[in-house]
Chain A
Amino acid sequence: MSAAEPASSSPVIVLDEVVAVLGRFPALAGASLTVDKGEIVLLQGPNGAGKTTLLRLCAGLLPVERGVGTVLGFDLATQRESVRPHVGLLGHQNGLYLDLTVRDNVRFWGGTVGATTAEIDAAMARMGVADRLADVTTRTLSAGQRRRTSLACLVARRSQVWLLDEPHAGLDASGRDELDATLRSAAAAGATILVASHELERAGSLASRTLDVVAGQVDAHRPPGASR
């Protein structure tokens, strides 16, 4: 098997007692979770609990210090570079070129993986930016429209795993509704989505499962007051 080929295809994300360190601080201290294809999983927890670190680890940006982690079958200890082209990490910024049009942006990001014109058109259509928005300069778009453009770029890049950090931040009510519909449709089409959010009501209704991230560890969600 070549280094660029995944070892297996299901489940999509598997972490087993993973430890990840930021500087000398163990940001993840034995985190374990399994996420299957097409799931939308919400990560919730207080600031500094390790949610963003967990997303960055799954994106292949942080090394695994101890434990075992795989994404799409790629070993996060030895194949981090190989994971990156298959996942999309969307943080507070959208990664767009503001002087280019929506179409230019999606074409560029799709082009980095050799996406065809048909794939690029399909990605734009799927995220609802294909028609009147296609030739609009990104700088003039609303926050919600930029988010959808960014997600269209993820689709054009053929990202199979979407790692979203506070995706609802900065969006108004209609932008949030648009984003939720977009994510549901992406999951239905086979994307696996991990969402870190503080907006529990909004993100909780979107997710098929909620996980608590507390002090660098991951647990099944328990409502406030429930005993462990």
Chain B
Amino acid sequence: MSAWRVAWLIARKDLRVERRSRVVTNQVVPFAGVTMVIFAFALDSDAVLQRVAPGLVWLATMFSLLVLVQRSFAIETDDGALDAMRVAGVDARAIFLGKAIALAAELVALELILLFAAVILYGQSIAAGSVVLLVTTLVAATCGLAAVGTLYGGLAAGFRGRETLLPLLTLPAVAPVLIGATRAVEAALGTAGAVVSDGWPWVGLLTVFAVAFGVGGSLAFGPLIDE
């Protein structure tokens, strides 16, 4: 079996687990939604909310990412499945890619919901001319977040106290995504006078980040989960 086929198998398995357990739909999506509402209560000003809406969307995404990653590796450690994959000689690159693909699929769904929430709660509007930038930003940022989340999720999975270790490792690492994605979405939404062309350099940063963590993660994941 090629690593790609095994990766696809693992991604489908993860998505099937989520479809059966409904943890993402019943817990993570409401958590992200509540976070957006709480931001609105805390800032309590339409002008401020409109100015900071892109950043709030990505902050809510980051917090939700932590929950998704915890969940993604909890299903592997509940009954020793991650160890079993290692013992069975399943290619570690395939495990990394498979879990990152499933995580990315869940993140994309979540980001679309959060963008919709920003339009409703924060009064944002999306112009037709900015859709390409917005979609490209979502794809590049999601790939980066999924790669970082999978890498550090796998690392933390082997440690006692992983629930607290994961945010400590992940949040600093995804700071460049938070900055780049926020600036790119500001450009797409025209926040504070930004124009679409301002966003593309940030998309470049997000792409470099995603490629670096995707390649680095797939190479490092095996030694990280090995004893």
Instruction: Report A's interface with B, CB cutoff 8 A.
Output: 59-61, 81-85, 88-89, 91-100, 104, 108-109, 111-114, 137, 146, 157
Contact = CB atoms under 8 A, between A and B. Distances in A.
B13 A99 contact: no
A46 B75 CA distance: 33
24 contacts: A81-B89, A83-B89, A84-B87, A88-B88, A93-B79, A94-B79, A94-B80, A95-B79, A96-B79, A97-B17, A97-B78, A97-B79, A98-B79, A99-B20, A99-B75, A100-B13, A111-B1, A112-B1, A112-B6, A112-B9, A114-B1, A137-B20, A146-B79, A157-B88
A84 B21 contact: no
Contact of A104 (B16, B83, B84): B16
A91 to B, nearest CB: 7
B153 to A, nearest CB: 16
B81 interface: yes
Q: At the interface, is chain A mostly helix, strand, loop or mixed? A: loop
A161 to B, nearest CB: 12
Given A99-B17, A99-B75, A108 B88 contact: no
A91 B81 CA distance: 11
8 tightest CB-CB pairs across the interface, nearest first? A95-B84, A93-B80, A84-B89, A85-B89, A99-B21, A111-B9, A99-B20, A99-B17
B227 to A, nearest CB: 8
SS class, residues of chain B in contact with chain A: helix
Q: Which of B16, B89, B227 has the most CB of A within 10 A?
A: B89
B90 interface: yes
Given A88-B88, A114-B1, 6 more contacts: A60-B89, A81-B89, A84-B87, A89-B87, A93-B84, A146-B79
Interface string B62-77: 0000000000000100
Interface in B1-54: 1, 5-6, 9, 13, 16-17, 20-21
Nearest to A60: B89
Contacts of B6: 111-112
A94 B79 CA distance: 6
A80 to B, nearest CB: 9
Contacts of B1: 111-114
Nearest to B80: A93
Nearest to A62: B227
Contacts of B90: 112
A100 B87 contact: no
Which of A108, A112, A113, A157: most chain B Cβ within 10 A? A112
B81 A95 contact: yes
Given A112-B9, A137-B20, A97 B81 contact: yes
A98 B79 CA distance: 8
Nearest to B20: A99
Contacts of B89: 60, 81-85
Contacts of B80: 91-95
Contacts of A88: 87-88
Contacts of B83: 91, 93, 95
B81 A96 contact: yes
Contacts of A81: 89
- Which one of B5, B75, B80, B88 has the greatest number of beta carbons of chain A within 10 Å? B88
Nearest to A93: B80
B84 A97 contact: no
A108 B13 contact: yes
Contact of A61 (B9, B75, B78, B87): B87
A151 to B, nearest CB: 12
Interface in B76-129: 78-81, 83-85, 87-90
Nearest to A59: B87
Nearest to B2: A114
A22 B13 CA distance: 34
Nearest to A108: B13
